[in-house]
Structure 1
Amino acid sequence: MGWLAAGDGYEVALVEGRVTARSTAGRSAGRQLKSLPKAVREHPQTDRLRRLAAWLDRHAASCREQVDAWMVSSLPVPTDLLARVWPDEAWQAALRDLVVVGEGEDEVGFLRDATADGGLRLVDLDGETVRIAPATVTLPHPVLLEDLDDLREFAAELGVVQSVDQIHRATWRKPDDLAEKATEVTDFTGGRFASRFGLAARATSLGYRVSGGYATTRVRDGGRTLEPAVWIGEPYWDGESETGALCWRDGEGRVLPLREVGPVAWSEGMRMAAALYAGRTVEEDKTA
């Protein structure tokens, strides 16, 4: 976007997401200003750019949320859809360098480009740029990636920075020795918060939903949608609160035996419980 006239002697433009002004007259002509003069701050053109910047921020967040949903659910995504959205900078930022898996065993790599003809260019684990053109690809959840450690190491060598947290996402593997009738995980219980409101606020700030006495999220795993849920206290309690047990519910609200929880739902539920617990009040050791 170019510079737009904003009154006598000034122009404005969006520079790195914020409205910036420059002078068009005198010895400072063409020089960007550190702050907006009052006449520029109140100009209609400035207001339009601010509203555009806000819309662009919402659009970028929406793209990241959609890509995150594809990744967490490991849903098949049409390659021609990726090609259509790729020219959009917000979509490209959300998708670039995510690990993509095609139809063949060797069709795995970091996404670098999506061409108009529906092809994708990847950098594979050998450092080679390859082109794949399957009908659909997946952006797999990291717990499903067998070569996750290799991918993390290679990503560090390439200097990969993902906009959507995929390969460096915290993951948990489900233990093999779960009790047959167990329905709860208590690893992250007892995290104290000054108030139930503070615990609920932490949940929503992390992107989780608060419903009744629980912090919840929804995860599609193995063709069904599950709801990990962590107890955070009665809704109208105004005293201290603690994180409770973690369970998983199906679409009908039935609490599942832990053995029935899939790997992605398990990992995402544990990730939520750990993130809530991490915000607990930690008392300092007075004897230290």
Structure 2
Amino acid sequence: MGWLAAGDGYEVALMEGRVAARATTGRAAGRQLKSLPKALREHPEVDRLRRLAEWLDRHGAACVRQVDAWMVSSLPVPTGLLAEVWPDEAWQAALRDLAVVGDDPDEVGFLRDATDSGELRVVNLDGETVRLSPETVTLPHPVLLPDLDELREFAAELGVTQRVEQIHRATWRKPDDLAAGATEVTEFAGATFASRFGLAARATALGYRVSGGYATCAARDGGRTAEAALWIGEPYWEGDAEPGNLTWQGPDGRSLPLREVGPVAWSEGMRMAAALYAGRRIEEEKSQ
């Protein structure tokens, strides 16, 4: 965005998310000022730029949420759609360097560009930039990526930075020895929080949905959606909060046996419970 006239002797522009000013007259002409002059703080152009900056922040956050939802859902995303949104800097920031898979499920690459013709340019694990033009791609959840540790090492060599947490996302593998008929994970129960309000606020800040007495997150495995739910207490409870056990439900509301929970839903549910558990109150041991 270019510089806009604002008042006598000044121009303003949006620079790195904030309103910047520069003088157009005098010895400082053409130089960006360290702070916004008092005379400009209530100027209409400055107000307009501030509102634009707020909108851009919201738009950027919305792009990240959508791309994260694509990854957690494991749904195919039309390549043409990626090409259409790529020129938008917010979409590009959310998508760039994500691991993508096209027609060959064993060929993983880091997304670097999307052309108007719907062609994707990715860096494969050989370090070569290749062109892909599948009808759709997936942005795999890391628990589904083969050789994840190797992929992480390669990403470090490339200097990959992801806006949407994917390859460095914390993952949990479902144990093979789960008891038949078991429906609850109990390892996060028993923690204590200062208040139910604080626990709910923590869940919301981490991006989880709070409904009634539960913190929840949904994920999709093989075309089936499952919702992980952790009891966090009655909404208006004023005392200490003690989360309950972690469970999963199917689309029909039926409680799922743990053996039926898919790998993505398992990992995401455990990730939510662990993130909330990390904020528990820890009693310091008294010195003898």
Common topology (TM > 0.5): yes
After TM superposition, the score normalised by the length of structure 1 is 0.98
Q: How many residues align?
A: 288
Aligned residues with identical type, % of pairs: 79
* Structure 2: gaps of 5 or more residues: none
1:17 corresponds in structure 2 to: 17
Q: Find the aligned partners of 2:106 and 2:234 in 1 and give their Cα distance.
A: 50
1:103 equivalenced with 2:106 (yes/no) = no
Deviation per CA, 1:158-203: give whole Å up to 9, x if none.
Answer: 1111000000000000001101110000121122111111111111
Q: Find the aligned partners of 1:7 and 1:109 in 2 and give their Cα distance.
A: 50
1:93 equivalenced with 2:93 (yes/no) = yes
| 1:126 aligned partner, one-letter code | D
2:133 corresponds in structure 1 to: 133
2:31 corresponds in structure 1 to: 31
1:237 corresponds in structure 2 to: 237
Deviation per CA, 1:114-169: give whole Å up to 9, x if none.
Answer: 11111111111111111111100000000000121111000011111100000000
| 2:164 aligned partner, one-letter code | V
Runs of 4+ residues over 4 Å off in structure 1: none
* Structure 1: gaps of 5 or more residues: none
2:217 corresponds in structure 1 to: 217
* 1:71-82 equivalent positions in 2, closer than 5 A: 71-82=71-82
Contact 1:215/1:232 (<8 A) preserved:
yes
| 1:257 aligned partner, one-letter code | P
1:158 corresponds in structure 2 to: 158
| 2:34 aligned partner, one-letter code | K
Q: Find the aligned partners of 2:37 and 2:190 in 1 and give their Cα distance.
A: 53
| 1:87 aligned partner, one-letter code | P
SS of the counterpart of 2:21? Answer: strand
Q: Find the aligned partners of 1:192 and 1:238 in 2 and give their Cα distance.
A: 13
2:62 corresponds in structure 1 to: 62
Q: Find the aligned partners of 2:19 and 2:283 in 1 and give their Cα distance.
A: 44
Give the CA deviation at 1:287. Answer: 2.1
Q: Find the aligned partners of 2:270 and 2:244 in 1 and give their Cα distance.
A: 13
1:7 corresponds in structure 2 to: 7
Give the CA deviation at 1:105. Answer: 4.3
Q: Find the aligned partners of 2:163 and 2:105 in 1 and give their Cα distance.
A: 25
2:42 corresponds in structure 1 to: 42
Contact 1:230/1:273 (<8 A) preserved:
yes
Q: Find the aligned partners of 2:129 and 2:162 in 1 and give their Cα distance.
A: 18
Q: Find the aligned partners of 1:267 and 1:164 in 2 and give their Cα distance.
A: 16
Q: Find the aligned partners of 2:181 and 2:105 in 1 and give their Cα distance.
A: 37
Q: Find the aligned partners of 2:287 and 2:117 in 1 and give their Cα distance.
A: 67
Q: Find the aligned partners of 1:160 and 1:243 in 2 and give their Cα distance.
A: 36
After TM superposition, the score normalised by the length of structure 2 is 0.98
Q: Find the aligned partners of 2:242 and 2:190 in 1 and give their Cα distance.
A: 5
Q: Find the aligned partners of 1:105 and 1:222 in 2 and give their Cα distance.
A: 14
1:285 equivalenced with 2:272 (yes/no) = no
Q: Find the aligned partners of 2:112 and 2:217 in 1 and give their Cα distance.
A: 30
